[in-house]
Amino acid sequence: YLGRRLTKGIKGATINAVASSMPEFLSTIFFLFYLNDANGFSGGIGITGGSAVFNILVIPISIYFVLYFTQGIKKIPIARKTFLRDGIILFVMTGFVAWVVNTEILMWWHGALLTAPYLAYLIYLFFTHKKIVGKGDDFDHTPDQGSIRFPDLLKLNLEKFVLRGKTIRVTNAWWLLTASILVMVAGTWLLVYAPDRLGEELGIPILFVSVILAAAASSIRDTMISIRDAKKGNFEDAFSNALGSNIFDISFALGFPLFLFTLLNGPINMDPNIKEASTELWISLFVITGFAVCIFSIRKNYTIIKAGILTLLYLAFILFVAIEVLNYNLY
């Protein structure tokens, strides 16, 4: 509702991306200040890197097959200009992060350098779009007049709790947003605590647990938002949300917590093994991003062949992580 008047492309890459990527940002904060060491930062590296892979591969895969089985759509038009814009920026930033995580000692200025590209990206978006605010999209909301029931409690139906059957307005929209963020804070804390304990029990570094399990869990919001936009026919926002989320994750969600932590607690000394594993992870993401950008840049439609290639890429990534875990344990 709050972003209903933003033009297409802007909304998906900014307000949708930031909202759906809040768990990655909160997770990195909690990983750093909860574990309070280099291992904590490796958890942040894992969840942001894994989420980036999930967003650029699994979200487009989900969009295609949901539209194929629910609406019979076999070819999805792609705004290649938007995809190339966000894809190239993401590609460059991924390589930049791969260089940063290969550093033995992380300083506050590393965090500042990671944060700066997202701020520059926002400035670029607002200066290159001729129109930022439009007349409004087809946002439509029918208040649920029913009383709060037990299933609403189980599902955390915040809309019923906050709006209470009233039409959504600016004031109660902000209250709803605030309540949602508070729920995210609680859920994200569990998302950090659980992988940490699971890693201890299995003897697996938190980097590897986070890159698959925590990353997939934190990316559900991105997936649902993109699918919703795609089902409405708003394909540009559906794909730009996935890419914009990655740019936010890689730059701000990873960089700002690092900047804040090192500013308050001093430099982080990276364990050599964790540093090597983190670098390999981000190099693989760098390669995957390059492949994905090339795939979407070829021709103007997103087809089942492209969806199949993305599926194989994600399976290859999971296999790569499994091999990394085995090599780490053998070492």
**pLDDT tens, position by position, 46-82:** 888 888 888 888 988 999 999 989 888 888 887 777 6
What's the CA gap between 112 and 53, in Å, rounded? Answer: 23
In this prediction, residue 137 carries a pLDDT of: 58
Report percent pLDDT > 90 for the chain: 6
Nearest alpha-carbon partner for 5 in 101, 139, 133, 159: 133
Structure tokens at 272: 């050599």
Query: What does each C-alpha distance from 72 to 223, 304, 310 come to in angstroms?
Result: 20, 12, 20
Long-range contacts formed by 172-181: CB under 8 A, 24+ apart: 173/1, 173/2, 174/2, 177/2, 181/22
Contact 214, 56 (CB under 8 A): no
Tell me the pLDDT tens digit for each residue of 150-166: 888 888 888 888 888 88
In this prediction, residue 175 carries a pLDDT of: 92
What's the CA gap between 265 and 37, in Å, rounded? Answer: 10
Q: Which residues does the chain have with pLDDT short of 50? A: none
- Total H helices, total E strands in the chain: 17, 4
pTM of this prediction exceeds 0.85: no
What's the CA gap between 290 and 285, in Å, rounded? Answer: 9
In this prediction, residue 311 carries a pLDDT of: 93
